[in-house]
Every structure is written in C-alpha cells, then in structure tokens.
Structure 1
Amino acid sequence: MQTTGNTILITGGGSGIGRGLAEAFHAQGNQVIISGRRQSALDEVVAANPGIAAFTVDMADAESIAAFGKQVTESFPALNAVINNAGIMVDEDVVGGDYLSIAEDTIATNLLGPIRLTSALLPHLLAQPKATILTVSSGLAFVPRASTPTYGATKAAIHSYTQSLRYQLRKTAVEVVEIAPPYVQTTLMGEQQARDPNAMPLADYIAETMTLLAGSPENGEVLVQRVHRQRFAEQTGNYATVFGFINPA
C-alpha cells in the first residue's frame, strides 16, 4: 500500500501496536483517525500527536460499530484505509469451566468486530480511487498458545477471512493486507508483557512493519522476520517444535 497521502482509520489506536502504527503513519503526513473504548487513552495519543483524530467505539457491539462507521465516513470523506487492529487476549481455563464469557467476548471483539466494521466501511472504500483494508492477525493464528484458545482461533479465522476478502475484492481498487505480529512488548496481556525480554520491542516491530508496508508484501502478508518461525511452522515441518516452544510441558 502507499504509506503517505492516506486518510487512515486504526482501531485499538490508544495503545500498543495500534498506537505505534498511528504515530508512524502520522509522522509520514497521513491523516490518522484512531478509535477505542477508553477515552483517556485516546486523549493521551491525541495530546502527544496534534492532528490525530479520535472516536470511541465498542468493537464488541454491532450497533456501536454501525453508528461509528457512519460517523467516521461523514467526518472524513477522504477515508481510504482502515486497520482492523482492536483486540483482546485473555487466558481461559477450560478445565475450571468458567471461560465461556471470555470466549464469547473474544469472538465478538476480535472476529465479529473487524467483519462488522469492514461491512460498514466497504461501500465507502469501494467508491475511492484506491483504498486498503488491513487486518491484524497474529503468529498465534498459525501456532496457538493453548492458554488462550479462543484468541488463537479468532486470529486463525481472521487470516482465513482476509484471504477470502482479498479474493472477492481482487477486481476492485481495494487492496487487502494482513499484518501478523509476533509476540510484541505491549500491554495486551498486562504490564509484564511490555517488559518481557522475550517479546519483540514495540519500536522495532513498528519500524520493520512500516518498511514492509511500503514495499509489496508477499501474498499480501506483512510478516516481520521474527514471526516467520510461527507463520511457516507447518510448511517447514517444524510445527511440533514451535508448538512445544510456545506451550512448554
């Protein structure tokens, strides 16, 4: 995709990868719009980056997404790109049995949310001379972390959905790109993740991702080097080894 001259919406833009991408695109002169559930987090990003716009939305709520889609396209008619980044990741104890509400919330946010927002924005994006839909999956879409089974399942579903979306839109001016991060230093699963030396530093991840986006990602997938081991585990015959590394006995 082109990385300048866009009006780009980034969901989950108040923290982590979403904020990192928002600030990187903003620094390159794009009009950036971020969304999230926490007004305070959005306000912090806007204060640090004058010119970024922000809206609150509940990505688990169909009505909230529909209203948001209308609001953002009316406020920013030049909108030509969206990064479906918002997501939650919560441990689930299937033996303990008290996990169904977590699973349902995860599916609503991580899978239905991007599908609903894409549906709300697609007529507008199809009317643009050139547009891009970007989905954020995960290395865990390809080799899951067993303690977060629904998270991995939603990301595997996003990968599949993105492939089908790309095929259906192949004869239009809407490009479809998948971003699959590795384990990155964010607060997705708490403050300890942001300090974990085993996670990829956020600044390094954003820098490598922006470089890949500026090129022509192979098969429409933005894969930093650190996620290759997971992404290609099955093709290389290393699935059991990688699964055992992520899920030690």
Structure 2
Amino acid sequence: MNISGNTIFIPGATSGIGLALARALNARGNTVIIGGRRTDLLESIARETPSLRTVQVDTTDADSIRAAAATVLAEHPELNVLITMAGIMRVEDWTTPAGFLDTAEATVTTNLLGPIRLIAAFIEHLRSMNAATIMTVSSGLAFAPLRVTPTYNATKAAIHMLSESLRLQFDGSSVSVVELEPPAVRTALMPGQEESEFAMPLDDFISEVMALIETQPEATEIQVENVKFLRYGEARGDYPQVVATLNRLDPHGH
C-alpha cells in the first residue's frame, strides 16, 4: 500500500485507532472517508477535521453496510483502499452459564461478520481498480490469548486466517491484502485501557504504523515492535511463557 494518493474508506473510525489513523492518512495526501453509527459524532469530527469525509454506517447491519457502500462508491468512484477497522472487545466468563453468550454473539457479528460483509460490498469495485488494498485489523491476541476475552481472541485469529486466505485468492490480481496487527494501545476499547502502563501510547502506535506503511509498501502484515512478543511466541518456542506473561501482567492488554 502506498502512503499517499489513495481514496480510503475506514468504517469504525470515529474514535481510537481508527480515527487517529484516518487523520494521519489524510494528512499524508489521501482522501479519507470515515464511517460510524452516530451521525452527531460524525458531524463533530467533520467540523474538527473538514478534510475528512463521513458516511453513516452500522457494521453490525448488513443492509446498512450495503447502503453505505453504495453511497461511498457513488461519491468516490476512485476509492482504492478499504480498512475494516470496526471492532468491540468485551470481557466474558464462560464458567457462568448465562454470562457470555450475548456478548460472544455480538463480538462475532461486529468483529468477524462486519469485515466479511464490508469486503463483500466493496470487492467487485476494488477488483476493477488498477491497484487496490484491503487492510484488515486483527490483534496481538490473534496469536496469544487473553483469558478474559475468549471470543475477541477467536475473532481476531479468524481475521488473521481470513487475511492469509484472501491473499492467496487475490494473488496475481490488482488487490493486495494487508493485515494490521495492533498490540495493546491506549484507547477506550476496554475500561481502563487508556491509562494502562502496559498499553502503547496511541500517537506512538500511529507514528510507527505510518512509518511502516511508508518504508514497507509491499508488506503483508503491519507489525509494530510492541506486538512481536505476542505475534511470534510459537515461532520462538516460548508460547507458554508469552501466554503466562500476558495474563499475569495486564488484564486488558491486547
């Protein structure tokens, strides 16, 4: 993916990593459209950063995704990058019979079905472009589990394997598949995470991601240094120690 000259749609970009990345990409000469459920929040972001475009979308709703895709493509037929940013992370207790199912189902709908539906809505258009990118967003927890968020871990592992598989299917086409793999970052994804000493400052994360995109435009996985402890535990042979350390140090780290 080139660092500039793109037209990019980022659903789920009204806060946290999504909004910070949207602003950074916009500042580097990209046309960026952000999507979110709350129109009042979208309007506030547009006032703060007038160069960002906005569109209302609920990534848990298939009809909303189709409608947003139609709007984005009608207004921005040059669109060549989709970043499937939307996601939720919630604590679950599977040892309590009624303590997890609703949360697990909502997590799967948002974190897995959402990206699948988004890609389905845009893939025909992206394949018609001379060069296009799908950027998925997994997590360090795709590779080492946090005890309190089992379904989040599972959906991010699924996103990783979906990315690997789509890259094989689109090999030789105009569409590249890039996977962004965040570590714990200081955002409001989980209660207390914005103040966590174990989480990476958001500005530092975005700066490193932008540098990686710029210096490694052919990369298939965007990995800041902080995520490599989780990402390569099995390859290094210290996976049990990685899992133990993760779950001992930071109940909200990802």
TM-score calculated relative to the size of structure 1: 0.96
Contact 1:15 1:41 in 2 (8 A): no
Change (3 A) 1:195 1:43: farther
**Percentage identity across paired residues of the two chains:** 47
1:110 corresponding residue in structure 2: 111
Question: Could you tell me how far apart the structure 2 residues matched to 1:18 and 1:235 are?
Answer: 29
Aligned partner of 2:185 in structure 1 is 184
Contact 2:3 2:217 in 1 (8 A): no
Moved more, 217-226 or 49-58: 217-226
1:165 and 1:212 mapped to 2: Cα distance? 22
Residue of structure 2 equivalent to 1:197: 197
The AA in structure 2 aligned to 1:26 is N
| Aligned residue in 2 for 1:81 | 81
TM-score when normalising by structure 2: 0.94
CA contact (8 A) 2:7 2:80 kept: yes
1:129, distance to aligned residue in structure 2 (A): 1.2
User: Separation in 2 of the partners of 1:147 and 1:223?
Assistant: 24
Match of 1:222 in 2: 222
Q: Is the 8 A contact 2:3 2:25 kept in 1?
A: yes
Are the aligned partners of 1:13 and 1:42 in contact in 2 as well (CA < 8 Å)?
no
Query: Counterpart amino acid of 2:34?
Result: I
Counterpart check, 1:163 vs 2:164 = yes
Report the Cα offset of residue 45 of structure 1.
2.2
Matched AA of 2:176 = E
Q: How far did residue 43 of structure 1 move?
A: 2.5
Q: Secondary structure at the match of 1:235?
A: helix
Letter of the structure 1 residue corresponding to residue 70 of structure 2: K
User: Counterpart of 2:113 in structure 1: which amino acid?
Assistant: L
Q: Which amino acid aligns with 1:12?
A: G
CA distance in structure 2 between the partners assigned to 1:187 and 1:40 by the alignment: 19
Matched residue pairs, number? 248
- Matched to 1:77, the amino acid is P
Letter in 1 for 2:138: S
C-alpha distance in 1 between matches for 2:88 and 2:232:
24
**Local SS of the residue matching 2:54:** strand
Paired with 1:212 and 1:231, the residues of 2 have a C-alpha distance of 17
> Runs of at least 4 residues of structure 1 off by over 2 A?
38-45, 215-219
- CA–CA separation in structure 1 for the residues paired with 2:212 and 2:43: 29
